[in-house]
Amino acid sequence: MPLLRRFMRRKKETPETHPQPLPPGTYVLSLEVKSDYHDVPFHVFYPTPFDKITVLKHRQRAHYWFVPGWYIGPFEEGGVIRGQIYKPLVEDKDKEFVLYHVRTQDRDANVHFSVEGT
């Protein structure tokens, strides 16, 4: 029984969050906006310090894909996660790389890239 009590008292781990202010060149995509898209995003893995580019597919609009950019981490306010931090894609070669991978999933994809600060 003592082992069970110790297990139950263990502090739950929280995901890594970023302190204020946001890292330069990043923006927050709120969870309300993200709820318009499928729960499981499509990730394009790319060998950079950020590791993956997030691509979201809209729930109601067929063939509509949104690319918020490089995933940095969750955004927390007052102990509650309010959104996710992204760094937008600015280089054309990165956008072409994403377009190629999205088109393998959906030939008729209408892909939109984020603009910093949106």
Render pLDDT for 19-71 as a digit per residue (tens, 0 to 9).
Answer: 567 888 899 999 999 889 998 888 888 777 778 899 999 999 989 999 999 98
Q: What is the phi-psi region of residue 117: left when phi exceeds 0, alpha when psi lies from -120 to 50, beta otherwise?
A: left
The confidence score (pLDDT) of residue 116 equals 55
Q: What would the two tokens of residue 82 be?
A: 């309010």
57 forms bridges with which residues in the sheet? 65
Is the confidence at residue 1, as pLDDT, over 80?
no
Q: What are the extents of the domains in the chain?
A: 25-113
- The tokens describing 105, both together, are 């999933």
User: Which three-class secondary structure state does DSSP give residue 58?
Assistant: strand
This prediction's pTM? 0.75
Helix and strand totals (H; E) in the chain: 3, 6
User: Would you place residue 117 in the very low, low, confident or very high pLDDT band (cuts 50, 70, 90)?
Assistant: very low
